[in-house]
Amino acid sequence: QVQLVQSGAEVKKPGASVKISCVASGFTFSKYYMHWVRQAPGQGLEWMGIINPSGDTTTYSQKFQGRVTMTRDTSTSTVYMELSSLRSEDTAVYYCTKSREGACDYWGQGTLVTVSS
């Protein structure tokens, strides 16, 4: 069965960076686009960006351009999202999701990132 297992919760200071991992299993990782979506406490869902199957093309929301980097490692079926210059507004649960024909069909369990001084 498809599983996306994300790394654990992080606490970061303002200005720091965070890198979250998402290990995929149960499908041919090298064939699927992967997205990252975040959700601030008590708020809605926010799309951050997408990485193509080979990992050589990414598209980021303009909101995060310059601060976000998405990468993937086919040898370990892992996708990564790094967000830099963290501020308190980046406190959120971050999700990796698998894309099937554009729709996010499977989601990781989420990783809580808390930004606090």
Residues that bind other proteins (CB under 8 A): 35, 37, 44-47, 49-50, 59, 61-63, 95, 100-110
CB 24 within 8 A of CB 8: no
Shortest approach of other proteins to residue 46 CB, angstroms?
Answer: 7
Nearer Cβ to other proteins, position 43 or 85? 43
CA atoms within a 13 Å half-sphere pointing along the CA-CB vector of 114:
6
Give Cα 9 to chain centroid, integer Å: 13
Nearer Cβ to other proteins, position 89 or 117? 89
CB 37 within 8 A of CB 62: no
In angstroms, what is the C-alpha Rg of the chain?
13
Shortest approach of other proteins to residue 47 CB, angstroms?
Answer: 4
Structure tokens at 116: 């606090």
Shortest approach of other proteins to residue 54 CB, angstroms?
Answer: 18
Nearer Cβ to other proteins, position 19 or 63? 63
